[in-house]
Amino acid sequence: MPSHREPVERSCTLELKTIPNAPRTAVAGWLGDALKVKVQAPALAGRANDALLDFLADRLGLHRRSVTLIRGDKSRHKAIRIDGLTLAEVRAKLAPPA
């Protein structure tokens, strides 16, 4: 009888410190376990959150629906769920250029 394996779900949670109203959207580096991200959009009516999630999905090469805000809707400290990558893969893709 052949064995049937379920695919291992690859997902992680990423802690962020965000800075809205920045001159441009960019990764500013790591602060311990949290990624610091500057977001050009203002923190008004969820625009900065949307811009942040779009930016992260683009940088990670994922569909926008794979990157969701799970905590911190109105805070600079946020938690993002990323489906399709492990935390190690996310850290490697978001590392600042050397």
Query: What's the confidence (pLDDT) of residue 95?
Result: 82
Query: What's the confidence (pLDDT) of residue 10?
Result: 87
| pLDDT tops 60 at residue 40 | yes
Distance CA 79, CA 6 (A): 27
Q: pLDDT by residue (tens digit) across 47-73?
A: 999 999 999 999 999 999 999 999 999
Q: What is the CATH number of domain 15-94?
A: 3.30.1200.10
Query: What burial class does residue 76 get, using C-beta atoms within 10 Å of its C-beta: 0-12 exposed, 13-18 middle, 19+ buried?
Result: middle
pTM score of the predicted model? 0.86
